[in-house]
């Protein structure tokens, strides 16, 4: 029985190690601190281009939001909003979402939109942190 458990654990560790190596090769780390005119609303957004997968990994986490449905988007350099993902907030005031399917090119701002009123409730400018990192 113990040998079985050890084999499963070793396989799980190997899978996790391979996944982290695959995602360790970034061409860009883009981080935005979100702020709002609504008291107590704050958050963070990260959008990274992952070398090897030729794709983008995006995620956002926001605190202090009123109940509702929200859209996380990035503002492209041309000024157009590119939707990333939606999330719902109920009671706790916090929410977030992530996506690995967006196709992005030239963006500068993270935006949180309240879909009930189609109003921007939080935003932040992306800053690049590191380039061409490989572990």
Domain spans of the chain, in order of start: 25-130
Q: What is the pLDDT of residue 134?
A: 44
Q: What is the pLDDT of residue 19?
A: 30
* Least confidently predicted of 7-11, 31-35, 44-48, 60-64: 7-11
Query: Residues 54-110: pLDDT tens digits?
Result: 788 999 999 999 999 999 999 999 899 999 999 999 988 999 999 998 888 889 999
Q: CATH number of the domain at 25-130, out of 1.20.950, 1.10.357, 3.90.1570, 2.60.40?
A: 2.60.40
Q: What is the pLDDT of residue 83?
A: 95
Alpha-carbon span 111 to 97, nearest angstrom? 13
- Judged on CB neighbours under 10 Å (0-12, 13-18, 19+), 126 is buried
Tokens describing residue 85: 């993902």
Query: Residues 44-62: pLDDT tens digits?
Result: 999 998 777 778 899 999 9
Alpha helices in the chain (DSSP H): 2-22
Q: What is the pLDDT of residue 32?
A: 97
Q: What is the pLDDT of residue 131?
A: 58
Report which DSSP code applies to 52. Answer: T
Q: What is the pLDDT of residue 130?
A: 62
Question: What does the mean pLDDT of the chain come to?
Answer: 78
Q: What is the pLDDT of residue 69?
A: 96
Question: Under a CB-based contact definition with an 8 Å cutoff, are residues 62 and 112 in contact?
Answer: yes
CA nearest 63: which of 47, 49, 44, 46? 44
Q: Which residues pair with 122 in a beta bridge?
A: 112
Q: What is the pLDDT of residue 103?
A: 84
Q: Please, which residues have CB within 8 angstroms of residue 58's CB and are 6 or more apart in sequence?
A: 45, 46, 47, 48, 72, 74, 84, 85, 98, 99, 100, 102, 104
């Amino acid at each position: 029985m113990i040998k079985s458990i050890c084999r499963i654990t070793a396989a799980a560790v190997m899978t996790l190690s391979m996944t982290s190596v695959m995602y360790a090769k970034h061409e860009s780390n883009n981080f935005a601190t979100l702020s709002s005119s609504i008291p107590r609303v704050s958050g963070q957004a990260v959008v990274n281009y992952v070398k090897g997968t030729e794709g983008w990994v995006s995620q956002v986490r926001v605190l202090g939001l009123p109940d509702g449905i929200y859209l996380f988007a990035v503002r492209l350099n041309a000024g157009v909003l590119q939707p990333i993902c939606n999330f719902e907030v109920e009671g706790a005031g916090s929410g977030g979402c992530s996506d690995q399917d967006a196709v992005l090119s030239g963006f500068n701002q993270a935006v949180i939109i309240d879909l009930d009123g189609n109003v921007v409730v939080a935003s932040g400018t992306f800053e690049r942190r590191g380039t061409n990192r490989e572990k």
